[in-house]
Structure 1
Amino acid sequence: MYKIGENMNFYNVVSVEEAKDIINCDFKLNLKTELIDIKECNGRVLSRDIVSPLNIPGFKRSMVDGYAVKFRDLQGASESMPSMLDLKGEVKMGKMPVKSLEFPGECMYIPTGGMLPEGTDSVIMIEYIDKMDDATVLANKSISFGENVLNEDEDVELGETVLKQGTLLRPYSISMLSSLGITKVPVFRKPKVGIISTGDEIVSPEKQPQPGEIRDINSYLIYSSVIEDGGQPILYGVIKDNYEELFTTVKKAVNECDLVLVSGGSSVGKKDETAKVIDELGNPGILFHGISIKPGKPTILGKIKDKPIFGLPGHPLSCAVVYRTLVRYLLHAMMGFEDVDYPIPCKFSMNYHKAKGREEYLPVTINRIGEEYIATPILTKSAAISGFTKAWGYIKINKNVEGIYEHEKVYVYKFQR
């Protein structure tokens, strides 16, 4: 068990992977589901597999503008020896053909997407047809069986699983739902995420800070991030460094939310009360206190009433990194969704030294020079907001290495979607 207990040593740290293992082992992250309108489901996560109730397109249709034919009628056709065909009308878009073609040598004009008439099996493109008169055309090219035809189950087959549970719904997957006639979509309910900022020095954004005070940054950083990740954020305001007030607010948030995030107070200063509150609100309390990550080492994960609660660092860059690394991971796990990053390979712009023992997340900008992308670090302290507002993304530096050489290949992960 990862719980350190009452006499735990602060910064008896776990690695990022160990922290994820704790999340996976200690929480049952199944949310309730709901049916929502298809127009509202962009960015939501499917709560069950979608199995096709029909074939798509459901009929044989032409993939080109041309003429529906029997392919055998065109065998051997060429520009020097075209095949003569009897034109029997045309197929109307969105309509069943009014007649079938029963005799050899017959054809019908058909637009892209039109339904093939009975008795035909292929379509010759209009470019290879010369029209002689209203009743006769010449085909100057041979074609194969089924050429330019989409079969009735070629796109989607009856009974096929077209979208799996855990799929993050985006415009293309939503268009699939529409094609199946599914207008009420089963999705996981948005996790309710309580957000609490702590600190005597923190004031709300609309107030003018006095000397020694700063405006609340992290509440709005986290609030926006939760929305981006499919959650429902709930702000509980700024709580001063007061144990009773923080205890009451955290207890209320735990009762009302699926996940609680407390920004600030996770270190070991005299006024840092977050760890004490988490440990005293219920068993098992704190699961770990400290991660081998830079920035973001003073991070807490606790468990109250089977619900996760994070104590996040108060410094904005540290808070952003821990959110991106662990909170987002937990939110997606709640919804059965696994986010996959596809980093951009770049060359590093300089020699950079780091201490061994901690995985580091270093914000960078990207510039393109010729055919190469160059990643340049933003060297800022974790208390500074500018580090991630200027950054395109970040690189992960393994805890067992001491830095990066100039021109070394690195992989840059985007901060935002």
Structure 2
Amino acid sequence: MDFYKMISVEEAKSIIDTNFSISLEKELIDIKECNNRILYEDIISPLNIPGFKKSTVDGYAVKHEDVQGVSESAPSALRLKGEVIMGKMPTEALKLSGECMYVPTGGMIPEGADSVVMIEYTEKVENNTILISNSVSFGENVFNENEDVELGETVLKAGTLLKPYSIGMLASLGITKVPVACKLKVAIISTGDEIVSPEEKPELGQIRDINSYLLYSSVIEDAGEPVFYGVIRDDYEKLLHSAKKAINECDIVLISGGSSVGKKDQTAKVIDSLGEPGILLHGISIKPGKPTIVGKIENKPIFGLPGHPLSCAVIYKTLVRYLMQKITSTEEKDYPIQCKFSINYRKTHGREEYLPVTINAVEGEYTAVPVFTKSAAISGFTKAWGYVKVNKNAEGILKDQKVYVYKL
């Protein structure tokens, strides 16, 4: 493998698609534990929801033909047969023309009724007489038994990242044991003589470990299980030992740092020593994140991520998350905001660029303002709302040009 024989992001994704086909097992977990887990199989509704016709307003259940053409000056007088108790089946039915029954919002529509008149258009004049001053059409103010969910409907698809609203749907179907994909175990190794833990006070020339915690949190956000193997010095044997252990214990391995070609950079050498086929690519036409490695040991992916935090974050989002979603069949729906760009900006030709930006909103018009930072800094993303992706063949962005801003 030729180091820094750079390829495009799309070529890198194609290499990932070609080389990795990983399947996850299914597990059943309690519904209370399934937030941010990935659904393993389609959920087919075993019933209609709500399962009965119910009123969407407080009012009187009627036969719609009994109130046609009525008005305040010419109301219709209907006989009250009783009321529906919330959560109970009606004890009466509307059998004859001219009958009605009080029903609360969410109450079950009695047999024989087909519509509900809002209580605002009614007046009770005697114990069992209701004046109706507004007509309704068939089915008005009625929620049908299968209007929310229909028997046999696919309500959630495999690959759905479960969130509170989808979990509420599972509860409505009576599903309390949820089939989810087992979590991808993702090993995280940081390497560098200059890296110390966040608990330590760094000496001059040292920095606290950022990438381990950035990656750890990102893996959790993507429904994976991060496994931290610590900070390893720029020592070939020590890094090789940790990488072997991680390969044996996890599904994906991330090594942060040492991915360039300097004298002390050991990541490429370690990956190629772990087994066949070794390194698949080394170098991507992307800014930031050029010194990226993707390797394969048997069928397990191993990434050499840049040590600079901003570069590490971009490559995680661009390639690692891409692979994780491919494995779990998760569809990420990303809806960018269209903005004007605030300045003229030139970029390096031939490299796809991810540019952090903030958004200014003035009178409903959005402007994307770049956050300029070097790849060694994490502050670029912490200060930004999102990012603009600049095509590799573009020369840059013109002031007031329309761009799409993606949420971080």
The aligned residue for residue 366 of structure 2 is 373
Report the counterpart of residue 313 of structure 1 in structure 2: 306
Distance 1:413 1:24 in 2: 24
Is residue 118 from structure 1 mapped to residue 91 from structure 2 by the alignment? no
Q: Which residue of 2 aligns with 1:301?
A: 294
Deviations 1:135-187 (A, max 9, x none): 10111122111111111112111111111111111222111111111111111
Task: Work out whether 1:196 is the aligned partner of 2:189.
Answer: yes
Cα distance between partner residues in 2 of 1:82 and 1:340: 52
The residue aligned with 2:405 is 412
Correspondence for 1:247 among 221, 225, 240: 240
Q: Give, in whole Å, the separation in 1 of the partners of 2:396 and 2:135.
A: 64
Output the amino acid matched with 2:40.
Answer: S
Query: Structure 2 matches for 1:51-200, cutoff 5 A?
Result: 51-200=44-193
Moved more, 366-375 or 198-207: 366-375
1:345 corresponding residue in structure 2:
338
**Further displaced range: 387-396 or 262-271:** 387-396
CA deviation profile, 1:376-409 (whole Å, cap 9, x unmatched) = 2122211122222212211111110111111111
Mapped partners of 2:254, 2:236: distance in 1: 16
Opposite residue 210 of structure 1, the aligned amino acid is E
Amino acid at match of 1:257: C
Secondary structure of the structure 1 residue equivalent to 2:91 = coil
In structure 2, the residue matched to 1:393 is 386
- Runs of 5+ consecutive residues of structure 1 not aligned to the other structure: 1-7
Letter matched to residue 101 of structure 1: L
Matches within 5 A, 1:212-223: 212-223=205-216
In structure 2, C-alpha distance between the alignment counterparts of 1:94 and 1:79, rounded to whole Å: 33
Q: Deviations for 1:317-368, whole angstroms, at most 9, x for unmatched residues?
A: 1111111111111122221102121111111111111121100111112222
1:83 Cα shift?
Answer: 1.2
2:17 aligned residue: 24
- The equivalent residue for 1:5 is none
Q: CA RMSD in A?
A: 1.2
2-structure distance, mates of 1:78, 1:289: 79
Q: Secondary structure at the match of 1:373?
A: strand
Task: Render the CA deviation track for 1:259-311: whole Å, top value 9, x for unaligned.
Answer: 11000111111121111111121111111111110010000011113111100
> Cα–Cα, structure 1 residues 20 and 63, in superposed 2: closer, same or farther, change >3 Å?
same
Say which SS state the counterpart of residue 156 (structure 1) adopts: coil
- Partner SS, residue 36 of structure 1: strand
SS in 1 for 2:216: helix
Q: Report the residue type matching 1:54 in the other structure.
A: L
- The SS at the match of 1:112 is coil
Task: Give the TM-score taking structure 2 as reference length.
Answer: 0.97
**Amino acid in the other structure paired with 1:285:** G
Equivalent residue for 1:211? 204
Residue type of the alignment partner of 1:228: E
**What is the alpha-carbon distance in structure 2 between the residues aligned to residue 260 and residue 322 of structure 1?**
14
The equivalent residue for 1:42 is: 35
SS across alignment from 2:148: coil
Q: Which residue of 1 aligns with 2:6?
A: 13
Give the CA deviation at 1:231: 1.1
What is the rounded CA distance, in whole Å, between the counterparts of 1:363 and 1:186 in structure 2?
Answer: 38
Cα drift, residue 30 of structure 1: 2.0
**3-state SS of 1:328 partner:** helix
Identity %: 71
Cα displacement (A) at 1:412: 1.2
- Give the distance between the partners of 2:4 and 2:78, measured in 1 at CA: 84
Q: How far is 1:101 from its partner? A: 2.1
> Do residues 292 (structure 1) and 285 (structure 2) align?
yes
Distance 1:370 1:75 in 2: 48
Structure 1 segments, 4+ long, off by >3 Å, are none
Length, aligned pairs only: 408
Distance 1:238 1:345 in 2: 41
Q: How far is the alpha carbon of 1:193 from its aligned partner?
A: 0.7
Query: When the two structures are superposed, what TM-score results if normalisation uses the length of structure 1?
Result: 0.95
Larger deviation, residues 367-376 vs 128-137 = 367-376
| CA–CA separation in structure 1 for the residues paired with 2:356 and 2:128 | 71
Deviation of residue 251 (structure 1)? 0.6
What code does the residue aligned with 1:187 have? Answer: V
